[in-house]
Structure formats: C-alpha cells, structure tokens
Amino acid sequence: MLLLVLALSIGVGARQLPPGEVWQGLVDSHSEAWTVVHRMRLPRTLLGLLAGAALGLAGAVMQALTRNPLADPGLLGINAGASAAVVTAASLFGVATFDGYVWFALAGTAVVAVLVYAVGGGRGATPARLALAGAALNATLYSYVSATMLLDTASLDRMRFWTVGSLASAEPSTVLKVLPFVSAGLLLALGLARPLNAMALGDDSARALGARPGLVRAGAILAVTLLCGAATAACGPIVFVGLMVPHLVRSLTGPDLRWLFPFCAVLAPVLLLGADVLGRVLGRPGELQVGIVTAVLGGPFFLYFARRGKGARA
C-alpha cells in the first residue's frame, strides 16, 4: 500500500503527465518533466512520508501514554500549541523559514503536551478529563491564532495556507531539515514500546517488570514533541491522522505496541499521501489542501469504526 501511494503521489498531480513522461522526469535530468518531478512532486512525497509517519506514531504514543483512545495531536491541542508558537514567531519576530519555525513549534508542542497531561490529572488522568483539557486548550490556542492573523495582515498572507495543513510548499531543503527531528522521534518512540506495554498494567506492575514510569513518561512526551513539532512546522496542523491510524492498525496487530508502533509509522503516510493525491485530483486545476481532505474524510470514517467497535464489544 505504501509503495502504491508513493507512486501515485509522484505520478498524479494538478498537471497531468503520462506515466512514461513521469518516469523520464524521474531519471532523466534533460527531460521536460524533470523540474515538475524533482522540484515539486518528489519533495512533496518525501515530506508527506515523513509527516505521516510522525503524526501516526505520535498519536499511537499519546494513546498508549494517556490510555485514552481519543488521544490525538489535533484533538488534545498539541498541534494547536505548535501553531500558536509558529504564528507568534511569524507575527512578532518576522520568522518566515522552517529553520525558525521548527524551534518555536517544538517549544509550543512541549508546553501544551505537559499542560494537557497536568491539567488532565497527571497519573490519575482519565480519558474524559484529558479530552476536556485538550479541547479547552485547543479552543483557546486556535482563537489566539485566528486573532493574531486577523490583526496582522502580513502574518495572514504568510500563514493562511500553512494553518489548514498543506504539503504544497515542500522543498528539498525542508525535507532534509525535517528528517533529523522525525528520525530521532521515531527511534525514541519505537524504543519506548516495551516499557509502555508494561505501563499498561499500572505503575507498580511496570516497576516490577523493570520499567521506570517517570522516565518513560518524559521520553514519551519528548518523542511526541519531536514528531509533532517537526511535522507541524513543515506542513501546518493536520488533524485526524494520529487519531484514526492507531485504531485501524490495532485491528491488524492487536494491542502489543512493539507491533503497533512500526505499523503506524508505515501506514499513516498511506493515509496522508492518499488524501493529498485525492485533493490534487478533486481540486484541478488547483488543489484542495491535505488538511482539509483529512478533516472531511476523518469524521465519518472514525464514527464508522467507533460504531463497529461498539457493536463488536456488544
């Protein structure tokens, strides 16, 4: 599935190119399609691959850490924290490149992740309290983002496409700059699979199995910060990916995080890049931003699977 969607992402776009011409553009630097493939579609595809893996794995880590099936970087305000920090950077400090965005996004992500966890009750947090804390922070931060952009027209012009979530502005340099942050987050998250499995039994049982709950929580928050911060700085806030993918993957792998985490990292880009291709096809000669497509498709699919899961338990 991933290989298929990668091929579609390179081969399908707002400008229609025959498969043979796409291949020539991929391998022949003298081809007329070289610029389209290498400067536009290939960076966009690679960025979607990285961002999808980051968001899908971040959602899985958050669901495991909070024991909340509704945990998602978008729903719990994590993306909103990154967005608020980036808009502040653009409005107050004139930051306009990924090099500047990423550090503000990481800081905003970390602060909101800790706040949601603390306001939701810390170790005694329940899914309902975490969801309420995330919803409150999400609404507050996005209100701040909207107000800042309305009051600062220059900021609005720079950020209006970024705030809906988009891969359209992908550049080779952006992919290279995102790669270290996402790679570090992926390795850290995958390394936490076993201790997070143990913590599902409770802190006391986790300690008996050799895990250190405090250190595991800190590592999980750091992993989510790296993954969400880098993806949001590069693409803008994209919702639903981190919520839906772990639910779909869990039906294939079961609850064992040692299988769940790698499959989320592989299958989440399928969803993100598939939505991006769909937006390019439906919006011709322009395009629909990928954040809009995932938001429109996400609700009905999530309700369907939630309903099906409820029926299966009954």
Q: Which residue has the higher pLDDT, 268 or 150?
A: 268
Cβ contact 108:82 at 8 Å: yes
pTM for the model:
0.87
Domain count, the chain: 1
pLDDT confidence band for 8 (50 / 70 / 90): very high
Cβ contact 35:304 at 8 Å: no
Looking at residue 314, what is its pLDDT? Answer: 36
Give pLDDT tens digits for 72-122.
787 778 888 888 888 888 888 877 777 777 889 889 988 888 888 787 766
How is 3-21 classified by DSSP, letter by letter? HHHHHHHHH-SSS---HHH
Residue appearing with tokens 């570090």? 184
SS3 169: coil
Query: How many angstroms separate the CA atoms of 94 and 177, rounded?
Result: 20
Q: What are phi and psi of 107, to 5 degrees?
A: -65, -45
DSSP 16: -
The one-letter amino acid code at 40 reads: M
Q: Which residue has the higher pLDDT, 48 or 14?
A: 48
CATH code of the domain containing 18: 1.10.3470.10
Q: Which domain holds residue 119?
A: 2-313
Give pLDDT tens digits for 200-251.
888 788 888 788 888 888 898 899 989 998 898 888 888 889 888 998 899 8
Query: How many angstroms separate the CA atoms of 216 and 150, rounded?
Result: 41
The answer on pLDDT for 46 being more than 80 is yes
Query: How many angstroms separate the CA atoms of 22 and 11, rounded?
Result: 6
Looking at residue 233, what is its pLDDT? Answer: 84
pLDDT confidence band for 186 (50 / 70 / 90): very high
